[in-house]
Structure 1
Amino acid sequence: MDELLARAMQGVDPQAPGAFWRVFLNLMALVPWGALFWWNLLFIAVGAALGRWRGRTAEGIAWSFVLGPIGWLVILRRPRRGAPPPLPRR
């Protein structure tokens, strides 16, 4: 934890008016943005495939974009589109 705090405070004067933003930018520089981007594309591709299989491609993409792999569960819980539900018996 001390190492993370030292990296966040690197080159920051705590008394300066913009200290918060400098610490924030230092922390954002530590995030592996490239890996997050590619993982998100993978999640969206799988969500699109699951959505297409269920007849809801746009929903699959949207849910996967917002929730990642949890969006896959959402799209799998939705009923298939295409075939109407069966009629009730009389």
Structure 2
Amino acid sequence: MDELLAKASQGVDPDSPDAFLHIYLNLLNLMPWAAMFWWSVAFVVVGAAVGWFRGRVVEGIVWSATLGPIGWIVILMKPVRRPRAGPPPLK
């Protein structure tokens, strides 16, 4: 924890009015943004594939973009959507 605090407060004057902003930006710089982006893309691609097999491509993309791998489970729990064989019945 001391190392994280040292990295976050590196080059920050604690008495300055924007010290919180600088500490916050230092913490954001420690995040692996590229890896997080590519993992998110992979989750959405797999979600689209699962949705395609279940007949729910858009739902697969939305659920996996929102919840990641948990979105896959949401799509797998929904029933398979079958296309209709013909026109709708007349009343």
Q: TM-score, normalised by structure 1?
A: 0.89
Aligned equivalents of 2:59, 2:9: Cα separation in 1: 42
Q: Which residue of 2 aligns with 1:69?
A: 69
User: 1:27 aligned to 2:27?
Assistant: yes
User: 1:44 aligned to 2:62?
Assistant: no
* Number of equivalenced pairs: 84
Q: Which residue of 2 aligns with 1:88?
A: none
Aligned equivalents of 2:62, 2:51: Cα separation in 1: 10
Aligned equivalents of 2:20, 2:82: Cα separation in 1: 53
Listed one character per residue, the Cα deviations across residues 36-75 of structure 1 (whole Å, up to 9, x for unaligned) are: 0111111000000000111100000000001000000001
Q: Unaligned stretches of 5+ in structure 2?
A: 85-91
**Structure 1 ranges of 4+ moved more than 4 A:** none
Among the aligned pairs, what percent are the same residue?
Answer: 60
Displacement of 1:27 in angstroms is: 0.2
